[in-house]
Amino acid sequence: MATEQLSAADVIASANAARQNLANLERELQDEIDVIDFTAFKAKRQLTAEENTRRRERRATQAEVREGFRVLAFVTARRLDETAEVKKLLRDITTINDGLQDDLAKLKKLENYAKVAAKVADTLAKAAERLAQAAAKALL
């Protein structure tokens, strides 16, 4: 069975739809909790045992929905990793990184050559200075 290759846009659209569904569910749960709280507040009383139970159940479900957001994020990231666009991007980044590694190696060689050239130039400058001093003494 061949698996359909989704585009990054498809994965993101699907994740956004799932996220919206989770957000709607969380809002509905919060609305139910607010109704429970407001009903007791309007009646100027504490929550009943049944209201406390319903409220705890809604809060527990909200926690599960929030966990669903985290799971959705990880699943979306994994699905994005499988898209052709992300795979190409990773290949391109690897190619660029390899090129940068080569450039760095060349720059390190140039740095070493520059150090050697600086030493040679320093040695030549010192030798020229000594020759100049010797020539100046010979003329005196």
| Structure confidence by residue, pLDDT tens digits, 8-50 | 999 999 999 999 999 999 999 999 999 999 999 999 999 999 9
> What percent of the chain lies above the pLDDT cut of 90?
76
Closest CA to 36 of 55, 63, 61, 60: 55
First to last CA, the chain: 99
Span 78-95, pLDDT tens digits: 999 999 999 999 899 999
| Residue-level pLDDT at 4 | 67
Span 96-120, pLDDT tens digits: 999 999 999 999 999 998 998 989 9
